[in-house]
A and B are shown apart, each in its own frame.
Chain A
């Protein structure tokens, strides 16, 4: 199984700050067929289902604010949230969908300082 090591476990931030969440995969999720990294980022608020933010490591889903930026390659990936807003306080997960079983990172809780 591909292990997704996500850090940090939690982050305390003030509105307007920039935060970075890291995700390291035990194997590269790069598809040789289309050269896309099969790595997605999700946001989950309490009592809600996960919401897709970023797919193929860096493609922002339509409607997601441009302060959410996905980057990375190889086995190291990053979700950056610039100018954090109160509505961004949530849990964030990375997901590899390159091989079965699909696996998630442990999650990062974004909290108010």
Chain B
């Protein structure tokens, strides 16, 4: 069965960076699309960007350009998101989700989410 397993909660200091992982199984990762999302508790969900595992091609929400960098490791079927220059406004739950189809499609499987807390 399809599984997306995200790394554990992070507590990071302002100005630091953090790398989140999303390890997948149960489907062909190397020809799939993965997106990442941000959700501040009590608020709606924002789409950060997507990456095509086949060639590493990416698309970002302009709001998160320079903040998030998406990469993949096809040998381990894992997607990564680097968040840089963290501020308290980056404190949120971050999800990865598999995109169905060949892009511009809905998301059928999601990771469990990871809480990132930015605090000194």
Contacts and interface: CB of A to CB of B under 8 A. Distances in A.
Interface of A: 31, 38, 40, 48-52, 55-56, 61, 93, 95, 97-107
Contact of B104 (A97, A105, A107): A97
Contacts of A56: 106
Contact of A49 (B62, B104, B112): B112
- Contact size range, B: 20 to 34
Contact of B44 (A48, A55, A106): A106
B95 A105 contact: no
B61 A100 contact: yes
Nearest to B105: A97
Contact of B111 (A49, A95, A98, A100): A49
Nearest to A103: B47
Nearest to B62: A101
B109 to A, nearest CB: 8
Contact of B35 (A99, A102, A104): A102
A100 to B, nearest CB: 6
17 contacts: A38-B104, A48-B112, A49-B111, A49-B113, A50-B110, A52-B107, A55-B106, A55-B108, A93-B45, A95-B107, A97-B105, A98-B104, A100-B59, A102-B35, A102-B61, A103-B47, A105-B44
A98 to B, nearest CB: 7
Contact of A40 (B43, B46, B106, B113): B106
A101 to B, nearest CB: 4
Nearest to A55: B106
A50 B104 contact: no
B19 interface: no
